[in-house]
Amino acid sequence: MLRGRKTVGKGEAVAAHYAFGPNEDDAIIKHRLLTRTTTTRGEPPLKKLQKKFTSFVVEVEKDADNYNDCDRLAKAFLQELTTFEIPLLKSKAVVDANVREKEQFNELKDEINSQILQVQAEIEDLKKQLEASKIERQHKEECETIRKLIAMQPPRSETEKMIAELGKEIAALEAEDTATSRLLELRKKQFSLLLHVVDELQATIEDEQRSLIEEMKNSSDDQKIGTENPTGGGDAMAID
């Protein structure tokens, strides 16, 4: 990843001590660059150039034969113009360098923004992978728990053996239950028969008791009649 360089100007450290605002500073700097008045000492270069040009024009406009003076003033003006042009060329070179640096900075900025977007996309992908990894790990832990539970269980052969023994026990219990049910049904029938016999026997006994009571009552009545009529037999014979 490219690293941007931070350039600090000479005026940054003392910018707070200026008596003008940022907008006024920009206007002053622009004016100084145009007029080449970068210093407060001496005459401004543009004013000096103007004076040279004015002197040359005044000398040319004279009617006298002053070719040498005009030539001298023209050379002085051209020299001053060259002197004034050199800083302009330097400034232009600085401006071009600044423009190129700005373009490089913009390219670097675009590249950094592209890298930031790419890193953000990679972060999102990593987040998704992390979530998928968490889910996969959870599934693995669940599978491991199930595997441990399965490992704690007895082997399949023992389980099948236990199932077979339980099946036999169930069959034996079912057979025993069937036999018990049949025996219980038989006992019910026998008990019902016994109750029927007991009822018939009780009825027979009651009948015999009633018959005995009636016989005893009849016998007692006969005895009473015989006691009251001891000669009942002679009278009957006499009547006959």
Using 50, 70 and 90 to split pLDDT, how confident is the model at 14? very low
Interval 96-145: pLDDT, tens: 999 999 999 999 999 999 999 999 999 999 999 999 999 999 999 999 99
Amino acid letter at 23? N
Question: Measured in whole angstroms, how far is the alpha carbon of residue 8 from the centre of its chain?
Answer: 47
Span 4-33, mean pLDDT? 54
Which amino acid does the sequence have at 12? E
Distance between CA 22 and CA 14 in Å, rounded?
Answer: 13
Instruction: Provide the token pair at 239.
Output: 């009547």
Query: In this predicted structure, what is the pLDDT of residue 158?
Result: 84
Query: pLDDT tier at 151 (50, 70, 90 boundaries)?
Result: confident
Residue 239 scores a pLDDT above 50 = no
Asked if residue 195 has pLDDT above 80, the reply is: yes
User: What is the pLDDT of the chain when averaged over all its residues?
Assistant: 78
CA distance 238 to 232: 10
Q: Does the pLDDT at position 30 exceed 70? A: no
Residue 232 has pLDDT above 70, yes or no: no
pLDDT greater than 60 at residue 39: no
Provide the pLDDT for residue 10. Answer: 41
State phi, psi for 5 to the nearest 5 degrees: -90, 140
DSSP code per residue over 104-172:
HHHHHHHHHHHHHHHHHHHHHHHHHHHHHHHHHHHHHHHHHHHHHHHHHSPPHHHHHHHHHHHHHHHHH
- Tens of pLDDT, residue by residue over 161-176, are 888 999 999 999 999 8
Q: What is the CA radius of gyration of the chain?
A: 72
Instruction: Please give the Cα distance from 48 to 135 (Å, whole number).
Output: 82
In 10 A of CB 105, how many CB atoms?
14
